[in-house]
Amino acid sequence: MKVYIDGVFYPESDAKVSIFDHGLLYGDGIFEGIRFYNGRVFRLDEHLDRLWDSAKAIMLRIPISLEEMREATLETIRQNGFQDGYVRLLVTRGKGNLGLSPDRCPKATVIIIADKIQLYPVEKYEKGMVMVTCATRRAAPAALLPAVKSLNYLNNVMAKIEASHAGADEGVMLNEQGYIAECTGDNLFVIKKGVISTPPVYAGALCGITRDVVFEICHELGIPIREIEMTRYDVYTADECFLTGTAAEVIAAIELDTRVIGTGEPGAITKKVIARFRELAQSTGTPF
């Protein structure tokens, strides 16, 4: 494997960053996870736009242009010879000192990794996911903006540990008001009487790229979709439920807190959305 670091490609064994990088010391940085299928990068421009928005929000200056980042991403995939896989693009605050201040970091570090990924076992895509509600709440917007895809994922990690200890595949995270924000790494959707609902971004959800694709699919297929504040009751009583994320793609969820959702199997509308998503992923995107 070859890894891009600040304009140079290194073998995996030689790919290193400074121990004084503030991305390591403080989680001070941003990232994007990007999928590519069949020789095309899916929604590359949308991912790069979100990366630049995240950088602006935390006052991080990306040291290369958007077009240079775009080409570096494509070249990293070419260097590794994959046709299908996953890109992890990181921008850290860069090398500084042991102090907290970012003023000590003169230049950000850019890292691009291309590899294979399968977030969940194949059978989960066929049968659906089991979820639990986590005690760990989603970080409030006044503390850490959920729209920023930052390297500080400890909030999500702690919730993921809870879900794992409970024997579940995924954990549902609530905000401080008790409304559903998102899962530990995915956006959440429910279907009731033919209408798809998902929590609004202001509830603590990430502005997911795959989430946006689902909105496009629903408009294309004529399926009603809306953003509403949701409680666990809305999931318990739903006819269907599914999760979305770049790594997870679109995957059904069939249980929350031991309550079976709908029939306990992936539903018809969920299957329709999954099928259309896979068509788009396999046939559209930026060629490399």
For the chain, report the end-to-end CA distance as a whole number of angstroms.
17
SS (H, E, C) the chain: CEEEECCEEEEHHHCCCCCCEHHHHHCCEEEEEEEEECCEECCHHHHHHHHHHHHHHCCCCCCCCHHHHHHHHHHHHHHHCCCCEEEEEEEECCECCCCCCHHHCCCCEEEEEEECCCCCCHHHHHHCEEEEECCCCCCCCCCCCCCCCECCCHHHHHHHHHHHHCCCCEEEEECCCCCEEEECCCEEEEEECCEEEECCHHHCCCCCHHHHHHHHHHHHHCCCEEECCCCHHHHHCCCEEEEEECCCEEEEEEEECCEECCCCCCCHHHHHHHHHHHHHHHHCCEEC
95 is catalytic: no
Contact 63, 186 (CB under 8 A): no
Find the catalytic residue in 116, 149, 192, 272: 149
Beta strands at 40-41 and 85-92: parallel, antiparallel or unpaired: unpaired
Residue 159 to residue 165: CA distance in whole angstroms: 10
Active site residues: 149
